Amino acid sequence: MLAAVTATFEQAGMEVCASAQTAAEGYDAVGAWAPDVAVVDLGLPDESGIDLTRRLLQRTARQAVVVHTGIDAALTLKDALDCGARALAYKTGGPEALVTAVRAAAAGGVFVAPELRAAIVAGESTSRPRTLTDRERQVLALVADGLANEAISERLMLSAETVRTHIRNAMRKLDVHTRAHAVVRALRDEEIGL
């Protein structure tokens, strides 16, 4: 499986600086190589991928983490977003989805595979009234499409600081701490559509 993922990245023109079979090896490799993006499997033999993600981000909050999973349990996926993962790629989504997730995370954006968005939304009940402004919804919809702040700024003809402000305000209103979780919460609350 690891060889297939490595081959997928190399075919997409991405450099794979290291690979690991365990959380301990992965933690050490990320520390040694400082890659732009770390791809973490949730099903590691020695530690959960969520715990590894949390430890990686405690070491450096700038680290982009993509969680690659075959698990579609809403609670587990929410935990991955809450701990700071920028992207969730579903193993059954094929290699293109994983490449898309890594590219989005590397560009500072977020990506949640459509199948996983649906699982998260289905696992939560909608009980909140719409609370976001139209502009906040528009910005979060573009974040959900994997666009980084600069691309959103250009598309909406807003300053980068205004885009950041809209995202911060949306995160506060949705009571979340990461951009990725803001997207999922906005989907759940029907603030933005799939």
Q: What are the tokens at 137?
A: 């919804």
Task: Kindly list the domain boundaries of the chain, sorted by start residue.
Answer: 2-123, 134-188
> Is the CB of residue 23 less than 8 Å from the CB of residue 46?
yes
Q: Please tell me the chain's helix, strand, coil percentages from 3-state DSSP, rounded to the nearest 5.
A: 55, 10, 35
Q: Are 89 and 72 in contact (CB under 8 A)?
A: no
In this prediction, residue 124 carries a pLDDT of 58
Within this chain, domains 2-123 and 134-188 share the same CATH topology: no
pLDDT of residue 155: 95
Kindly give the confidence (pLDDT) of every residue in the chain, 194 residues in length, as a single tens digit, with 9 standing for 90 and above. 788 888 999 999 999 999 999 999 999 999 999 999 999 998 888 999 999 999 999 999 889 999 999 888 888 888 888 889 999 999 888 888 999 999 999 998 899 988 888 887 776 554 455 689 999 999 999 998 889 999 999 999 999 999 999 999 999 999 898 888 898 888 888 888 76
Strands (E), the chain: 37-41, 64-69, 87-90, 111-112
Q: Distance between CA 59 and CA 42 in Å, rounded? A: 19
For residues 152 and 110, what is the distance between their CA atoms, to the nearest angstrom?
A: 12
* Cα dihedral 15→147→98→31 (10° resolution): 50
Contact at 8 Å (CB) between 38 and 30?
yes
Domain 134-188 fold: Arc Repressor Mutant, subunit A (1.10.10)
Assigned architecture for domain 2-123 = 3-Layer(aba) Sandwich (3.40)
pTM: 0.71
Exposed e or buried b per residue across 165-183, where buried means at least 16 C-beta atoms within 10 angstroms of its C-beta: ebbeebbebbebebbbbbb
